[in-house]
């Protein structure tokens, strides 16, 4: 069952971790909001938010996670997924390539031999991708795109009409890219139909929470972890994630992969969507952009989150195994209330599986009982996981009898790790 962290009276340990990296990034005030689309210049540059959605349906949030902004280029991988679901990889790649461009997002980037844009994450490729979505008219194509992106987010997304009008009024370069693709034979509709659908898709309003759920849907093999609806196939989710990995951060994609190591996509509205396959999706929002069009503080937040909590997708990990070996209720009672619940943990514990432990077991504390986490069969606990466990124990406070409501029973001292930053 999906768990909404916002329903809890106290922040989850994951939200505390997210808030911590936000505060580390908050002093960064370099960059500027996008102005080439005039309506985007109205954004509050100081807003900063983050959300993390696990593939089990738990959402953790911090900062301005509910602030609305336009999705802009973060829409590109999700529209690519819709086109792939509709037409398949072979047909889509007849029209657009899969190679990093090493160029700015609005570059004129067509392969000299095939006429294809180099990838779907730059504007030229994204306009071609939008043209591939079924529908003869722009409104028909956009209806499919809007419904698809809403399914990724798990709620109906709306268009910011003021931003759309601003995009239309200043979109001549994108129209030029569409006409070039049309002349090369790779655009699947008229230039006007393709760009109109594209401008409207970029003008959909989202939040950091929405981006986290959308990314988590890809991480979950195409199934939305909140609604449990299959949005795209596992193959499409994998192909889309691969393109995000190599091309999602424009001409900073290589450096991003080294420093952060998460498939991601940025947008000039200030959003970034990132994911760890089979684990979670993350959405960030901060409007100030660097010279490449990526959110300055969003990049900083994700760099710190990855480094502090070991989220790089290429980091070595053992075969996944549930960290909870056995759960028993003291005294043999079938009722949780007033009893001591003992959970035997096992194996190596990291950020991801400690999130599972806390999400599954912390709700038992809604009664007057106590929760004992027994680390007797645990071989190692990473520092990020220890931080989350200590935050959980501290947040739970004492039981009515004065004992800790969450006891970390550690006979072998596996929790004695260096927590220095």
Task: Give the residue numbers annotated as catalytic, written as ranges.
Answer: 73, 76, 198, 250, 268
Question: What span, in angstroms and rounded, lies between the C-alpha atoms of 18 and 311?
Answer: 13
HSE value, Cβ hemisphere, 13 Å, CA-based, for 250: 21
Question: What span, in angstroms and rounded, lies between the C-alpha atoms of 391 and 16?
Answer: 8
- Annotated ligand binding at 250? The verdict is yes
Helix, strand, coil shares of the chain as percentages rounded to 5? 45, 20, 40
- Annotated ligand binding at 164? The verdict is no
- Annotated ligand binding at 294? The verdict is no
Question: What span, in angstroms and rounded, lies between the C-alpha atoms of 181 and 63?
Answer: 41
E strand or H helix at 239, and its extent?
helix 234-247
Question: What span, in angstroms and rounded, lies between the C-alpha atoms of 211 and 220?
Answer: 14
Which phi and psi angles does 21 have, rounded to 5°?
-75, -30
* CA-based R_g, the chain, Å: 23
- Annotated ligand binding at 260? The verdict is no
Question: What span, in angstroms and rounded, lies between the C-alpha atoms of 131 and 152?
Answer: 20
DSSP characters over 108-123: --B-TTT--BS-TTSH
Tokens found for residue 309:
């909590």
Question: What span, in angstroms and rounded, lies between the C-alpha atoms of 302 and 208?
Answer: 13
Question: What span, in angstroms and rounded, lies between the C-alpha atoms of 231 and 315?
Answer: 29
Contacts for 16 with CB less than 8 Å, ≥ 6 apart: 62, 391, 395
- Annotated ligand binding at 174? The verdict is yes
Q: Where are the beta strands (DSSP E) in 31-92?
A: 49-54, 58-63, 69-70
Residue stretches of the annotated binding site: 73, 123, 167, 174, 198, 250, 268
Residue stretches of the annotated binding site for substrate: 73, 123, 167, 174, 198, 250, 268
């Amino acid at each position: 069952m999906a768990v909404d962290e916002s329903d809890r009276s106290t922040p989850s340990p994951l939200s505390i971790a997210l808030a911590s990296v936000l505060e580390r990034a908050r002093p960064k005030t370099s960059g500027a909001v996008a102005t080439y689309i005039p309506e985007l210049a109205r954004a509050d540059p100081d807003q900063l938010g983050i959300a993390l959605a696990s593939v089990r349906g738990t959402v953790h949030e911090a900062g301005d996670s509910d602030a609305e902004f336009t999705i802009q280029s973060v829409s590109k991988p999700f529209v690519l997924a819709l086109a792939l679901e509709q037409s398949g990889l072979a047909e889509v790649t007849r029209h657009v390539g899969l190679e990093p461009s090493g160029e700015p997002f609005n570059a004129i980037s067509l392969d000299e031999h095939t006429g294809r844009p180099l990838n779907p994450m730059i504007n030229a490729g994204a306009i071609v991708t939008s043209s591939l979505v079924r529908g003869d008219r722009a409104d028909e194509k956009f209806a499919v795109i809007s419904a698809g992106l809403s399914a990724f987010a798990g709620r109906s997304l709306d268009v910011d009409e003021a931003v759309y009008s601003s995009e239309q009024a200043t979109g001549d370069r994108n129209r030029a890219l569409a006409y070039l693709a049309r002349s090369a034979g790779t655009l699947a509709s008229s230039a006007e139909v393709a760009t109109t659908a594209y401008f409207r898709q970029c003008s959909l309003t989202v939040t950091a929470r929405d981006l986290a759920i959308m990314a988590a849907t890809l991480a979950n093999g195409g199934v939305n972890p909140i609604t449990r609806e299959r949005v795209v196939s596992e193959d499409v989710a994998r192909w889309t994630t691969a393109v995000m990995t190599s091309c999602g951060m424009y001409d900073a994609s290589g450096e991003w992969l080294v420093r952060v190591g998460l498939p991601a996509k940025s947008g000039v509205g200030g959003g970034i969507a990132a994911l760890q396959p089979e684990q979670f999706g993350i959405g960030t929002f901060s409007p100030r952009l660097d010279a490449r069009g990526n959110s300055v503080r969003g990049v900083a937040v994700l760099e710190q989150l990855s480094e502090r909590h070991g989220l790089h997708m290429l980091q070595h990990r053992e075969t996944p195994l549930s960290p909870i070996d056995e759960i028993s209720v003291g005294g043999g009672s079938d009722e949780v209330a007033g009893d001591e619940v003992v959970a035997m943990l096992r194996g190596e514990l990291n950020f991801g599986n400690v999130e599972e432990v806390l999400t599954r077991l912390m709700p038992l504390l809604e009664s007057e009982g106590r929760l004992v986490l027994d680390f007797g069969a645990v071989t190692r606990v990473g520092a990020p996981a220890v931080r989350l466990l200590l935050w959980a124990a501290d947040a739970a406070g004492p039981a009515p009898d004065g004992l800790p409501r969450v006891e970390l029973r550690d006979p072998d001292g596996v929790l004695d790790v260096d927590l220095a930053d």
